[in-house]
Amino acid sequence: MKVHEVNFDGLIGPTHHYGGLSQGNLASVVHRHAVSSPRRAALQGLAKMKRIADLGIPQAFLPPHPRPNLAFLEAQGFTGSPDKMIAEVHRQRPDLLSVAYSASAMWTANAATVSPSSDCADGRVHITPANLQTMPHRALETPQTTKTLRAIFHDTNHFVVHDPLPVLAETSDEGAANHTRLCRSYEASGVELFVFGRDHNDEQKSQRFPARQTLAACKSIAMEHQLNPKRCVFARQHPSAIDAGVFHNDVISVGNQSLHLVHEFAFAELDRVLTEITDCFGLGLQQIVLSDQELKLADAVQSYFFNSQLFSIGTEQMLLLCPIECSENTAARQLVANLIRADNPIVECQFIDLRESMQNGGGPACLRLRAVLTKEEFAAVPPAVFITERRYHELCKWVRRHYRERLTVDDLADVRLIEEVKQAMNELDEMLEL
C-alpha cells in the first residue's frame, strides 16, 4: 500500500435533531425544531462511507459521542437523577436540553487539524483537536474527541495528538474545516493553507455573523505541528462571505492534491493568497477561481457546492462528490457540467443524498476528517474503525436496532431516550474495542 489519504467520517449519533444551535449556519437555523430522522441520517452517512470505500479509497469512521452530556447540565446547576434532571431542564431551559443532546460531533471536519508526517519536522503525523469554543454545543465535544483521537492514533512512534488550544477568544479553533492541504502527490511535502476569520489584534470585520477561526489559532497549530513556515499560507475569510453564511472555509473552497477550487469571495485578499500558494507550491498547481456570476454566494451556501469532496481516482484524475442539492440548483448543476468539460483533473461527478445532515448545516466535506498516512502509519490505526463490507452491514443493522425513525426537540424530554442511547453506545463500544 502506498501513501493514501484516509477519510474519517463521523458516524451520526442516535440523538441527531434540529436544534438550530449554530449561529451563522443558515441551514441549521432554517430547520430549527423540524422533525429529524436519526435512523435515516446515520444510514445516509454510512452509505456515503460505503460508496467511498467501494472506490478503493480507505474509509474509516469516528464513533458518536455519549449523550446526553449530563456533566454539562450539572454545570448549569441542575441536580438529581438523570430522569429528574432531564425533566427539570425541559421545564426550565429546553434550549440547554438540546445542547446536552447535540449530535454535532458527526461533522468531523471540525474534530481536529491534521498534518501528515511528510510536512512535519519530526516525521510524525500531528493532530490538534479543535476547541470549538465559539459555539457552546460544539465546545462540549472537545474532551471526548481528544480521547477518541488518542485511542485511534495511539502509537506515539507515528502520531502526536496535541492538547486542544486554550479556550480563549484569541485562540478560537474550528479544525480542518478551515484547513486545506495541497500537494503534488500524497507522499510529497505539501502546502498547508490555514484560513481565519479574525485576528485578535483587529476588529471583527463581519457584521451579521461571528468569525469563528482566529489567526493566532492557525499560527499556533502550524508551530505545534512543526511545519515549514515557507510552506504555510494564512488567509483571511472575506467578511461578506461570513455574513452570507460561510461560517467555515469548506463552504467556499475545496482542494485536493494539485487542484484548488475557490469562489472569488472566499478570501479578503484573493490575489495575494493565490499568488502566495502558487509560490509555495511551485509548478503543477491549478487554482480555479469561480466568479460570483457563475455561482452566487447565496447559491454556494444553499447548494453546498464547495462542501463537496474531491478524490484522486487515477493518475491526474479526480472525482467530485457533491450533495444532491447541487443537482437541484440550476447554477450549481451547470457549474458541475462546465468543470467536467473543462481542462482540469475532474473527470466525473456523483451526487449523494445527505439531506438529514444538510438540513442541520453540514454536507459531505463536513462529515469527514482527512489524514494522509503511510503504509506503516495506516497499519498502526485500529482496523475496527475502517469500513469494510462486513463492518458496513454490522453498523447498518446496529443503527436499525437502536435509532429512532423520527425525533423532535420535545422528544428529548422522553426519559426512555437516555437508556436507548446508552444501550446503543455500549453495544458499539463492544464492537469497536477501542
Residue 53: inside a domain, yes or no?
yes
> Is 91 domain-assigned?
no
Nearest C-alpha neighbor of 245 from the set 171, 178, 299, 325: 299
Give a yes or no: residue 86 inside a domain: no
402 is catalytic: no
Annotated catalytic residue within 5, 174, 224, 377:
174
Mean pLDDT, residues 109-138? 97
* pTM confidence score: 0.96
Confidence of residue 206 (pLDDT cuts 50, 70, 90): low
| 366 included as an active-site residue | yes
From the candidates 248, 260, 263, 402, give the one annotated as an active-site residue: 248
Catalytic position from the list 218, 326, 366, 377? 366
93 located within any domain: no
| Domain that includes residue 131, residue range | 4-67+102-432
CATH number assigned to the domain comprising residue 377: 3.75.10.20
Q: Answer yes or no: is pLDDT of 1 > 80.
A: no
pLDDT over threshold 90, residue 80: yes
C-alpha cell read off for 109: 471536519
Please compute the mean of the pLDDT values over residues 381-409 and round it to a whole number. Answer: 98
pLDDT of residue 24: 82
Does residue 304 fall inside a structural domain?
yes
In a domain, residue 125? The reply is yes
Q: Is 264 known to be catalytic?
A: no
118 occurs within a structural domain: yes
The total of structural domains in the chain comes to 1
Look at residue 307 in the predicted model and tell me its pLDDT.
97
115 falls within a domain: yes
- Whether residue 170 is predicted with pLDDT greater than 80 in this model: the reply is yes
The percent of residues in the chain predicted with pLDDT above 90, rounded, is 92
Q: Are 214 and 170 in contact (CB under 8 A)?
A: yes
Using one digit for the tens of pLDDT, what is the confidence trace for 263-302?
Answer: 999 999 999 999 999 999 999 999 999 999 999 999 999 9
